Amino acid sequence: MESRCNIVTKFQSTVSMLALAALLTGCASFDLKPEATVVEPQAAVLADIPPPADWVVPAPDALPTTDWVRAFPDPVLIELVDEALRENTNIGAAYARLNAAIAREGISNADRLPSASASAGLSRTERANEFAGDNTGLTSSLNASWEPDLWGRISDRIDASEIESEAAASDIAGARLSITGQVAQSWFSLIEARLLADLSRRDIETQERALRLTQRRFESGVSGSSDVRLARSSVAQAQALQATREQRLAALSRQIEILLTRYPANALEAATDLPELPALTGVGAPTYILTQRPDLIAAERRLAGQGFQIDLARKALLPSLSLTASTSAAGTGLGSFFDVDALVANLASNLTAPIFQGGRLRANVEQQQAILEQQLQSYIGTVLDAYLDVENALDGETRLAEREAALRIAVNESLEAEKRLELRYTEGLATILQLLDAQSRRLSAEGQLISARAERLQNRVRLHVALGGGAYGDIPPDAFPAFLRDQG
């Protein structure tokens, strides 16, 4: 039997010759290593669409705060956000996607190493002829293979998978920021709905008081039955509005419970009043969102990953080298499995290079380049939408403040007018229509003021979300959803 040293020597010679052939083939037909595709989306956006220097007075740390939820003087909101960040299913799904991306990264890294497999088989043949003996056959084999990373294909796949893991981590940040914003806005809407429902109850009391007054005037012969009917109609309309507002209040309560992964039982009670709006000292420069918004960071990472996909498509045009080795043993009895002379070793190397595939490989390169262009255009559009979100929120800071100030004046004036007309109606100097109109104006102004206060708070939340701020930085261990913690 040929010695093991001779087998190894022949294997090394074969590998050397085939590797040289691969290099020569690559030199003759292809670029040895195609130029890497570099993607710089930020530069493309800033070159085509230069933003202004800043939005308002820049904040000291580029953004007002990364934990803006605690800037609102509302401890219940803080508790709700913390619970949502622990339990929300969208965040749990984002963690699962990150785990999948990390697993794919491990799969890519495994390509650097050789792969080995083993197999064994046992057969038994029994013959009826007493002159022919029975036969037991045992076979076993051990196979190994390895592909050297000649052109950096494996490295590109590993880099692409690592970038996808980074993008998936940014998706977690985006999910946490989105859920934080949804909980905050829904909470302010819930308080608004409670205040409007309370306003409707007070409205019903006011309308019922006007109805009693009108009935006394009718019984005294001062007013006609039409006044009583108008007063009753106003009471009914107020009751209908209260039912609508109570329904919205319950729906918003269930909506928040879903965000917290609770059963939608309408068991969440709103606060008695809206919190004060925190002061806003600055929001930084527009370019900050390119490095702060999780969705932009994730999109930028995937652009870089697509650059590697283009490189992989180009390198598919290059030759590939694979090395394989196998050893097997076979015999007619169990003892042959341990017989060294029965072992057979095979060492081989394969060099393959694409010659003609009908343009498939080059078309794949063009496809990957087109996908990159598509992603780049989408990235630019996403950046523009981000700028739009901030600009609208900043404009809302001013306009909504003006609206609230005007509505406060409207409420005060309509309240005084209502008091005056109610007195005049009691004295018989005003009609029921005048009184109902004054009450309607006052109630409308109060409702609009409540909504304006809530809208200012929600607009502040939209501003922070648009800027990319949020409690999503260092994620504590207990931030994982409960069902993921249970799985370890």
Domains and CATH numbers, the chain: 34-123+134-486 (1.20.1600.10)
- 382 vs 331, which has greater pLDDT? 382
Stretch 402-410: mean pLDDT, rounded? 95
3-state per-residue secondary structure call for the chain: CCCHHHHHHHHHHHHHHHHHHHHHHHHHHCCCCCCCCCCCHHHHHHHHCCCCCCCCCCCCCCCCCCCHHHHCCCHHHHHHHHHHHHHCHHHHHHHHHHHHHHHHHHHHHHCCCCEEEEEEEEEEECCCCCCCCCEEEEEEEEEEEECCCCCCHHHHHHHHHHHHHHHHHHHHHHHHHHHHHHHHHHHHHHHHHHHHHHHHHHHHHHHHHHHHHHHHHHHCCCCCHHHHHHHHHHHHHHHHHHHHHHHHHHHHHHHHHHHCCCCCCCCCCCCCCCCCCCCCCCCCCHHHHHHHCHHHHHHHHHHHHHHHHHHHHHHCCCCEEEEEEEEEEEECCHHHHHCHHHEEEEEEEEEECCCCCCCHHHHHHHHHHHHHHHHHHHHHHHHHHHHHHHHHHHHHHHHHHHHHHHHHHHHHHHHHHHHHHHHHHHCCCCCHHHHHHHHHHHHHHHHHHHHHHHHHHHHHHHHHHHHCCCCCCCCCHHHCCHHHHHCC
What pLDDT was estimated at residue 44? 67
The residue with greater pLDDT, 420 or 130, is 420
Name which residue leads in pLDDT, 319 or 266.
Answer: 266
Most confident range (mean pLDDT) of 56-60, 124-128, 300-304, 400-404 is 400-404
**Span 242-259, average pLDDT:** 96
Q: What average pLDDT is seen over the chain? A: 80
State the average pLDDT over residues 112-141. Answer: 74
% the chain with pLDDT above 70: 77
The predicted pLDDT at position 59 comes to 43
Q: How confident is the model at residue 12 (pLDDT cuts 50, 70, 90)?
A: very low
Residue 253: pLDDT band by 50, 70, 90 thresholds? very high
Banded pLDDT at 136 (limits 50, 70, 90): confident
Contacting residues for 420 by C-beta, under 8 A, at least 6 apart: none
* Each residue's pLDDT tens digit, 24-70: 333 333 445 566 776 777 776 666 677 766 665 444 444 334 478 88
Residue 22 in this model has a pLDDT that exceeds 70: no
pLDDT: which is higher, 351 or 374: 374
Window from 142-151, 162-171, 372-381, 400-409 with minimum mean pLDDT: 142-151
Q: Which of 50-64, 91-105, 128-142, 413-427 has the lowest mean pLDDT?
A: 50-64
What is the spatial distance between Cα 289 and Cα 296, in angstroms, rounded to a whole number? 8
pLDDT at 262 over 90: yes
> Would you state the pLDDT for residue 58?
41
Percent of the chain topping pLDDT 90: 35
Residue 100 has pLDDT above 50, yes or no: yes
Whether the predicted pLDDT of 138 surpasses 80: no
Q: Residue 182 above 70 pLDDT?
A: yes
Q: What is the pLDDT of residue 277?
A: 93
pTM: 0.78
Residue 289's pLDDT is what? Answer: 82
Query: What is residue 133's predicted lDDT score, i.e. its pLDDT?
Result: 62
- Whole-number pLDDT of residue 470: 52
Does 18 score more than 80 pLDDT? no
pLDDT tens digits, one per residue of 338-350: 555 555 566 677 7
Residue 281: CB atoms within 10 A of its CB come to 12
* CA distance between the termini of the chain: 54
Rounded Cα gap, residues 278 and 390, in angstroms: 17
Quote the crossing angle between the two packed helices 153-219 and 225-259, to the nearest 10°.
Answer: 160
pLDDT value for 339: 53
Q: Is the pLDDT of residue 106 over 60?
A: yes
